[in-house]
Structure 1
């Protein structure tokens, strides 16, 4: 097995080569932006997370050059910066695509089809998890829950929601992204590139048209508790399970509970006639 010169250097205790520097014009621009970010915090090192997003917006991932820049601006060691950059999965450590396509594979999305979507996209794009297509357009990854279980299975592109996906719709989505065709998230702001997303996460204005007006919301199931807290007792729309009685109206409401609300807690302590409650008889009685 051969060993690279850098590996030999590490094994011999030789110092690591310094990170390459940004071009002067890039460095000047990043320093100006970094100072604006740092000024928002009473302790400069608190700005490390947004500064990592800032350098990620420059190259599409956090490079050694970017980490050295953050260390210089915050008077930190590169070890301190590296510890943070490698801890959070939102920071990429290698080149990635213009569009981060994340398929939720947590429990609900998985059983609703998320696992099947992820496997189909791996085959369709000929990539594995956290790998990028040859054209540099799409990086595929499985992601953790994004609090959108009402809309399972969910696919996210640069953290924008694409709800209620199927294998077919997910394939069309990545095909459109690779072809440069416009795609529209189910809710939220218009789509932008990963570098643009990183700059927004660094704390700079979101300049997309309609970014605020497009809005977005959780689904009805997630909002039941909030609605009840506000005193709204209107009947909720219910989608019956697949094995429901044939012919039952799809939007029929359940019978109201003791408080008059269909969503109120039901009495689950009533005795079961087939198994009456009572003291357990001792042996010999």
Structure 2
């Protein structure tokens, strides 16, 4: 069961964009921006309020990769494993981050909700490979050591 503040947030987002079917995506984006994920229970609430079926709302939320039903950490790290990054040893960066954060194939967010680590197919910065992105900021030419140092800096630790 979600807290009332989540429903209040949804109501504010609906008021901002209008209680109409065409507002579905902007409302979902605003909710996810605030909560760092899209709770399924809240998606059902939004669907009812704006006049779309739950199936349609879930269909949209699962179609677009940017929506997540799992809570994300304060720092969302996306590591590229596209061709250029892969060739330039991007996998070693991912493995170093997984080890540092205690994450793996089935666990993407740290228990303290500070970091979420995702592997993506391309960040569109092939000339800067290997790259990673933290909360939308691109970090070029990463090495396992520089990636771990960045995480420690974000944690407030000394590198």
Same fold flag (TM > 0.5): yes
CA distance in 2, matches of 1:177, 1:75: 42
Q: Which of 1 and 2 has greater Rg?
A: 1
Greater strand percent: which structure?
2
After superposition, residues 1-285 of structure 1 pair within 5 angstroms as 20=1, 22-23=3-4, 26-38=6-18, 44-129=20-105, 131-179=108-156
Give the drift of 1:65.
2.4
The alignment covers a number of residue pairs equal to: 157
Give the drift of 1:127.
0.4
CA distance in 1, matches of 2:2, 2:73: 23
Whether the 8 Å contact between 2:78 and 2:117 is mirrored in structure 1 is yes
Per-residue CA distance 1:14-73 (angstroms, 9 max, x = gap): xxxxxx4651x553453233222238xxxx323222211222234321112220232023
CA distance in 2, matches of 1:169, 1:46: 43
- Partner SS state of residue 102, structure 1: strand
Whether the 8 Å contact between 2:103 and 2:110 is mirrored in structure 1 is yes
Whether the 8 Å contact between 1:138 and 1:178 is mirrored in structure 2 is no
- Partner SS state of residue 12, structure 2: helix
Whether the 8 Å contact between 1:151 and 1:164 is mirrored in structure 2 is yes
Whether the 8 Å contact between 1:22 and 1:65 is mirrored in structure 2 is no
Superposed CA RMSD: 2.2
Relative contact order, higher structure (CA 8 A, sep 6+): 2
CA distance in 2, matches of 1:156, 1:97: 14
Structure 2 unaligned segments of length 5 or more: list them: none
- Partner SS state of residue 77, structure 2: strand
Q: Normalising by structure 2, what TM-score?
A: 0.86
Structure 1 unaligned segments of length 5 or more: list them: 1-19, 182-285
Q: Normalising by structure 1, what TM-score?
A: 0.50
Partner of 1:264: none
Whether the 8 Å contact between 1:138 and 1:177 is mirrored in structure 2 is no
Runs of 4+ more than 6 Å apart:
none
